[in-house]
Amino acid sequence: MKRTLVRYRNSKLRRLIRKHEKYAPVLFFIGGFIFDSLTLGRIDRLYDLIVLCLHMTALTIMLYIYNLVDDGKWKNSIIGRYDEYLPLAIQFFFGGLSSAYVIYFSRSVSLSKTVSFFVILVLLLFANEFLKKRISNKYLQFGVYFFINFTFFAFMVPVFIKEMNTNIFLISGAVSLVSTLILIVFIYLKSPSTRAEVGLGKLIGIVFSIYITINLFYLFRLIPPVPLALENGIVAHDIKLENNNYIVSYEADGSHIFWRRHRLKFIYKPEESVYVFSSIFAPTDIEKSILHRWKWYDPNTNDWKIVEDIGYDIVGGRDGGYRGYTFKNNVKKGTWRVEVITEEELVLGVINFEIVINPSLNPKNIVEKKF
């Protein structure tokens, strides 16, 4: 009776999926994204680490199982009865991991150079919706897997080692490359259908091409310095420290400008200073040197001039981010930007503003916020 009930439910599920086959990939895609959006918070939180590790492990296992289906490996087994669901499962984990990376990277990306890598992640997230029909293409399958695997270790290795620098990034890439090649070779040796369908040299070449491309992105500082993330970046008129809280006074922008706190036009009085406040999230126990690179746009040369680099050290672990500020006085009028960067000059964020010098004007809508 129990077996009959299970078979009935299984056949009913099959009919339901086949009936709505057109929408099933979208639903699995949305399901993975919503799950991560509602549950993920901090990359160093135990829950987040467990979820990401389980996702990556499950994806690896599903790829192995799926690639041996055509060889009759799972015939007359419980896996064989559910093999048509394997592409959806792979798609769910592709979507779950890529959406997690989008969530984490969105906190680290600046709307400058590093936005290009973020756009690739977003495109991968949405392209996942269309992967079901092409998931059997092993070149695409393992190419996407390696990209996701590389990104996974780029997050995880710094969190566990408690350190973040160029060497750690290279170690992360090497671990992901080796683990992916081991999986590919293992499946290739176990699966005659895979050997008949793809060339091992071409497959490894694709993986190496992605590996080199990601490292070039890092070399040209096009990748955000994850797992660090800029929580707040504000140009302010005054900053005070009271009871271990920073009281930041700044001119607020309109309520419709939800992506930026401060007003772009900074009303400057010759006798005052211009402050830039930043709070940076870092995983627990990571220590890092941070720089505020002050730049002024020279209209005569149409180029940005570096005025000064001012640095301070951060220690990870605080939910609201490690707080710090720099300031300058006797500044020129015109367009300014302060890049929040690491010692490797990877960009965490860019704070833009324009200095307006007019003694008859007074700042409006000044607010004080505690950080």
φ and ψ at 183, to 5 degrees?
-65, -45
Residue type for position 323: R
195 and 239, same domain (yes or no): no
Residues 103 and 125 in one domain: yes
Q: Which of 219, 239, 257 is the last residue of a domain?
A: 219
User: Coil, strand or helix: which one is 109?
Assistant: coil
Report phi then psi at 318, rounded to 5: -80, 135
The answer to whether position 175 is within a domain reads yes
Residue 198 domain-assigned?
Answer: yes
- 314 and 253 within one domain: yes
Predicted local confidence at residue 290, as pLDDT: 92
For residue 280, tell me if it sits in a domain: yes
Instruction: Report helix, strand or coil for 357.
Output: strand
Last residue of a domain, one of 179, 200, 219: 219
What are the b/e assignments for 296-318, b being 16+ CB within 10 Å? beeeeeeeeeeeeebeeebebee
Residue 301 lies in a domain: yes
219, 247, 267 - which closes a domain: 219
The answer to whether 284 and 44 have CB atoms below 8 angstroms apart is: yes
**Do 268 and 325 belong to one domain?**
yes
pLDDT tens figures, 37-50: 677 777 888 889 99
Percent of the residues in the chain that have a pLDDT greater than 70, as a whole number? 81
> Is 83 part of a structural domain of the chain?
yes
> Are 211 and 240 in the same domain?
no
Q: What are phi and psi of 319, to 5 degrees?
A: -60, -45
Phi, psi (degrees; rounded to nearest 5) at 315: -130, 130
Residue 71 CB-density burial (10 A; 0-12 exposed, 13-18 middle, 19+ buried): middle
One domain, residues 15 and 74: yes
| 146 in any annotated domain | yes
User: Which of 7, 12, 51 has its CA nearest to residue 32?
Assistant: 51
Same domain, 244 and 201: no
My answer on whether 147 and 65 are in the same domain is yes
For residues 264 and 165, state if they share a domain: no
* Tens digit of pLDDT at every position of the chain (371 positions): 444 444 444 555 556 555 555 555 556 656 666 777 677 777 888 889 998 999 999 999 999 999 998 888 888 787 877 778 888 888 888 878 887 887 777 665 554 555 666 677 667 666 655 555 566 788 888 998 999 999 999 989 999 998 888 999 999 999 999 999 999 999 999 999 999 989 999 999 999 999 999 999 888 888 878 788 888 899 999 999 998 899 999 998 876 666 677 889 999 988 889 999 999 888 888 888 999 999 999 999 999 999 999 998 888 778 778 899 999 998 999 999 999 999 888 888 889 999 998 777 788 888 999 99
Tokens of 99: 């959406």
Does 52 share its domain with 169? yes
In a domain, 224, yes or no: no
Q: Which residues contact 42 (CB under 8 A, 6 or more apart)?
A: 48, 281, 283, 319
Task: Please check whether residue 71 lies inside any domain of the structure.
Answer: yes
Question: Do 178 and 290 fall within a single domain?
Answer: no
Instruction: Provide the CATH number for the domain around residue 352.
Output: 2.60.40.10
In what side-by-side order are the strands of the sheet with 229-236?
229-236, 273-281, 322-329
Distances (CA, A) of 135 to 87, 132, 143, 151, 256: 7, 5, 11, 20, 42
Same domain, 156 and 188: yes
The structure tokens listed for 268 are 């400057």
Q: Which domain holds residue 127?
A: 2-219
Residues with Cβ within 8 Å of residue 217, at least 6 apart in sequence: 116, 117, 223
- What's the distance, CA 327 to chain centroid? 30
Cβ-defined contacts of 119-123 (< 8 Å, 24+): 121/151
Give the separation between CA 253 and CA 248, rounded to whole angstroms. 15
Q: How many domains does the chain have?
A: 2
First to last CA, the chain: 63
